[in-house]
Chain A
Amino acid sequence: MTGREKILGRIREALTVPAPHPGAHDAHGGQAPHTSFKGRPVHVARGWMPPGGDTFEEQVVRFRAASTELKTDFRFVGSRDEAFTELARIRDTEGWKSVATHRAEQPSAAAASLGLPVIHTDEGYDVDALESCDVGISGCDVLVAQTGTVVVTNRSAGGRALSVLPPHHVVVATRDQLVRDLTAAFARVQETYGTGYPSMISFITGPSRTGDIERILVLGAHGPKKLTVLCW
C-alpha cells in the first residue's frame, strides 16, 4: 500500500463518525450560528470583510489610504506620459544606474523611458546582475482597493525574482486593473488564466517588512525596501 493510500485510508476511517457543527459552542450576540450559508461561506462573508469601496473614486481613496499606512508610494496620474515623468523623477532622486524589467508592453516602455542599461528577466538573466540592479519594474494583474495589494504572477511580472530581489520594486498598472476587494481579485485572476495558472501568484502588500526585533517596524527585511505603484 502506498503512503497516499495509507493516509487517505486513515482519514476515511476517522471521518466515519461525524463532528458537531462548527461554532455551536460560541454564544456571540446570543444568536444561533449560521447553520447553513446560502452559497459558499466566503461569498456571504464578503459583506462582513473590511470594505473596498463601491465606486472607482472610493476605491482609489481606499487604495491610497492603505498605501499610506503601509508605506507604499502610490502615484495615480492622468496618463502614461505623466507616469513616466514621475518615474524619471524617482530615478533622479535615488540615482538609479541600472534597471531590470521584462518583455511586456508597459513595463518595458517604462524601463526604456529611463535611458539606463536594462536587463529583461524573461530573456534569461544572471542572478547577481539582477541583484545589483537598483530597481525592478514590473507589470501586475490586479490592484486591490480593500487592502492596498498588488497582485502579480510570474507571467505578469517577469518571473519569481524580479519583484523581490532588487531593492526597489516599481509596479506599472492601468486604472482598469483596480478592483474592489480580494474576492474580486481572485475572480479576476481566475478569469485571466482559466485553468492554466502560472506557477506563482503573489499578493504583495507594501514593501518587505519585519517586526521581529521588539515588534518595531523595519522595511526591507529581505525583499524590496521600497514599493512604488504607478497607475494611470
Chain B
Amino acid sequence: MTTHVQDFLAQARVVTRDLRHRGLIQTALRKYETARDRKKAAFNDWQSARQAAAETKWDAINHLDTYLAEFADKMEARGTQVHWAGNAAEAREIILGIIRSKGARSIIKSKAMTAEEIHLNDAMEKAGYEVVESDLGEFIVQLRHEPPYHIVFPAMHLTRDDINELFQKELGSASTREPEELTMIARRALRRKYITADVGITGANFAIAETGMISITENEGNARLTAALPKTMITLVGIEKVLPKLEDLALFLPMLATAGAGQTITGYNTMYGGPRQPGECDGPEEYHVVLLDNRRTELLADPEQRDALHCIRCGACLNVCPIFKNVGGHTYGTTYSGPVGSVITPHLRGLQDWKHLSGSSSLCGACTEACPVKIDLHHHLLRNRRNAAFGEPSFFERLAYRLFAFVINRPGLYRFAKEAGRLTEPLQKLIRNTPLDPARAWTGSRDLPPMPEQSFKEWWEERR
C-alpha cells in the first residue's frame, strides 16, 4: 500500500513534466488573473474591503454557536427540516434516509464541495440511485469518473477536444470543436433530468443567521433549476458558512465573485429560506438542510488557525499558487486543494498523513495576499509543519541534530569532521543521486553546495 505522500510525489513528478497540461492551466489562470485585476481595480478600496470581510467572518466564526442556533431556529420556523451531521457517515446516512423515505429514483445535483468531501455521489450510486451533476464542469468530470480538478473550475484541465471526445463517447453527440455547441449538448442532456428528478441536492456558499436562509452562488442557473423543479430539496452545508446578517451579502457576493472568477458579481446569487410557502406557486414541498461538522470543530478549537474557517471557497489562493500551477489539482488527492486545502486537510483528515501538503509550499505568501478574507495561509502551513514535527518527531532528524550537537561542542572532533568532509567530497560526486548517496533526498533535485576552500576559523587566524 502506498501512502498519501508517495502518491503525491509520484503524481507530482508526472504532472510537472507534462508541458501540455501546464500550458493549459497557465493559460486559464492568466485569463483569470487579467479579469480579477480589472475587477479589483473597480473597488474604491479593495484592501479595506478585505479587512471588513475578515472582521465579519471573524465575528461569525467566534460566535458560531449563537449564529448557528439562530440560523437553524429561523429555518425551522418556516418548515425546513434541519439535520445535524457530526461526520461524513452521518451526513450520508441522513441524506440517503431522506431519499429513501421519498421513494425517489433520480437525483439532480448542483455543485457542492461538501458533497465531494463526504463522497456523497458514491454512496447514492451504490444505493442504486441515478445521480446527475448539473454544473457543466462537474457534469464533465462526472462523465470521466474523476473528482473536480479545482474547487471553482472543475474541468479546467480539459480542452474542448477532450470534452468533444467524451461527449461523443458518453452521450453519442455529433463531433464539434465549438464550446457553445458543447455547452448546448450538455444543456439538452440535462433539461429532462431537472424535470424528471425526484430530489434536488445543492451546496451553499453562505448560511444567513438573521433570516434563516442559505445563499447559493452560480453562473449557469443549474442550482436555480435544481431548487425549483424537484419535489424535495436537500442542501448540504458546512457549519462554518454562517454569516450574521442578510446585508452582509452586499460585501461578500462581490468579494467572492471578484476573488473567485474575476467578475463583479456572479450570475445568480439566490437565497432560499424554506420549502414552498403558502401562496407560492412552485418550489419543493419539502426542504432539508444538513449541517456538516466533519471535524470542523477540531479546527475551531485551534485558535491559532481558526481563521482557516473564514474560507469562502473562492479558489483565489489556488489560482496564484506556484505549487498548484505546477502539480495540478488532482495531485493533492484531497477534496480541497491548493494552499487552503493544504492548511485544512491535515485538520480534517489527520495531521501525520497529510503533513506533506504543508511541506509542498514555497512559502511565497501569494495565497495570503490573494485571500479575500485574509486567512494567514502561508504561516498556517508553517504551523502545520511545526505541529507535525512536535507530534511525531522523526527519529533520524533527532539523531542527526544530536550528532551535530555532540560534534560542534568538541573542537577537536569538529576539526576532524571538517577534514574528513573535504577528503570525501570527491567521492560523494561519484555516488551522487544513487541509492548509496546518504544526502539523496536533497541531491535528487538540488545541487549540493561545494565545501569552501577555507573555513571561517582558518580565514580568521590567517588575518589575526
Is residue A41 contacting chain B, with contact meaning CB distance below 8 A?
Answer: yes
Cα–Cα, bound, A68→B19 (Å): 37
Cα–Cα, bound, A20→B177 (Å): 52
Contact A25 B368 (CB under 8 A): yes
Task: Render A4-48 as a binary contact track against B, CB cut-off 8 A, 1 for contact.
Answer: 101110111111011111110110110001100100111011111
- Closest CB in chain B relative to A211 CB, distance in Å: 7
Task: Render B177-211 as a binary contact track against A, CB cut-off 8 A, 1 for contact.
Answer: 00110111011001100010000000000000001
Is residue A66 contacting chain B, with contact meaning CB distance below 8 A?
Answer: yes
- Give the chain B neighbours of A3 by CB distance below 8 A: 83-86, 90
Contact A23 B219 (CB under 8 A): no
- Give the chain A neighbours of B72 by CB distance below 8 A: 4
Which listed residue (B55, B183, B184, B253) contacts A182, Cβ 8 A? B253
Which of chain A's residues 168-208 have a Cβ closer than 8 Å to chain B? 181-183, 185-187, 189-190, 197-208
Which of chain B's residues 274-325 have a Cβ closer than 8 Å to chain A? 274-277, 279-283, 287, 291, 293, 297-298, 300-301, 303-304, 306-307, 310
Contact A33 B140 (CB under 8 A): no
Is residue A165 contacting chain B, with contact meaning CB distance below 8 A?
Answer: yes
Contact B245 A42 (CB under 8 A): yes
Is residue A113 contacting chain B, with contact meaning CB distance below 8 A?
Answer: no
Contact A159 B221 (CB under 8 A): no
- Give the chain B neighbours of A181 by CB distance below 8 A: 250
Is residue A59 contacting chain B, with contact meaning CB distance below 8 A?
Answer: no
Contact B52 A11 (CB under 8 A): no
Is residue A134 contacting chain B, with contact meaning CB distance below 8 A?
Answer: no
Cα–Cα, bound, A181→B251 (Å): 10
Is residue B360 contacting chain A, with contact meaning CB distance below 8 A?
Answer: no
Known contacts A14-B297, A131-B191, A213-B182: A199-B250 contact under CB 8 Å: no
- Give the chain B neighbours of A25 by CB distance below 8 A: 368, 374, 376, 379
Is residue B160 contacting chain A, with contact meaning CB distance below 8 A?
Answer: yes
- Give the chain B neighbours of A213 by CB distance below 8 A: 136, 155, 158, 160, 163, 179, 182-183
Is residue B407 contacting chain A, with contact meaning CB distance below 8 A?
Answer: no
Is residue B227 contacting chain A, with contact meaning CB distance below 8 A?
Answer: yes
Cα–Cα, bound, A218→B257 (Å): 18
- Give the chain A neighbours of B84 by CB distance below 8 A: 2-4, 6-7
- Closest CB in chain A relative to B71 CB, distance in Å: 11
Interface size class, chain A: 35 or more
Is residue A51 contacting chain B, with contact meaning CB distance below 8 A?
Answer: yes
Which listed residue (B52, B261, B271, B276) contacts A48, Cβ 8 A? B52
Q: Which of A89-97, A120-128, A135-143 contacts B (4 or more CB under 8 A)?
A: A120-128
Is residue A75 contacting chain B, with contact meaning CB distance below 8 A?
Answer: no
Contact A165 B225 (CB under 8 A): yes
Contact A203 B270 (CB under 8 A): yes
- Give the chain A neighbours of B247 by CB distance below 8 A: 40, 42, 183, 186-187, 190
Cα–Cα, bound, A122→B282 (Å): 8
- Give the chain B neighbours of A204 by CB distance below 8 A: 267-268
Which listed residue (A19, A34, A200, A203) contacts B227, Cβ 8 A? A200
- Closest CB in chain A relative to B389 CB, distance in Å: 21
Which listed residue (B54, B68, B281) contacts A122, Cβ 8 A? B281
- Give the chain A neighbours of B69 by CB distance below 8 A: 4, 8
Is residue A223 contacting chain B, with contact meaning CB distance below 8 A?
Answer: yes
Q: Which of B2-10, B37-45, B453-461 contacts A (4 or more CB under 8 A)?
A: B37-45
- Closest CB in chain B relative to A185 CB, distance in Å: 7
Known contacts A3-B83, A221-B136: A41-B227 contact under CB 8 Å: no
- Other A-B pairs, 7, CB within 8 Å; known A26-B50, A42-B248, A206-B267: A11-B300, A17-B303, A37-B55, A40-B248, A199-B273, A215-B156, A218-B179
13 A-B contacts (beta carbon < 8 Å)? A11-B68, A13-B301, A155-B279, A198-B277, A199-B274, A201-B271, A202-B268, A208-B267, A210-B183, A213-B160, A215-B31, A221-B183, A221-B221
Write the residues of chain B forming the contact surface with A, with a CB cutoff of 8 angstroms: 28, 31-32, 42-58, 61-65, 68-69, 72, 78, 82-86, 90, 134-137, 140, 153-156, 158-160, 163, 179-180, 182-184, 186-187, 190-191, 195, 211, 213, 219-222, 224-225, 227-229, 239, 245-251, 253-254, 261, 264-277, 279-283, 287, 291, 293, 297-298, 300-301, 303-304, 306-307, 310, 368, 373-374, 376, 379
Write the residues of chain A forming the contact surface with B, with a CB cutoff of 8 angstroms: 2-4, 6-8, 10-15, 17-23, 25-26, 28-29, 33-34, 37, 40-42, 44-51, 66, 102, 121-125, 127-128, 131, 146-149, 154-155, 158-161, 163-165, 181-183, 185-187, 189-190, 197-216, 218, 220-224
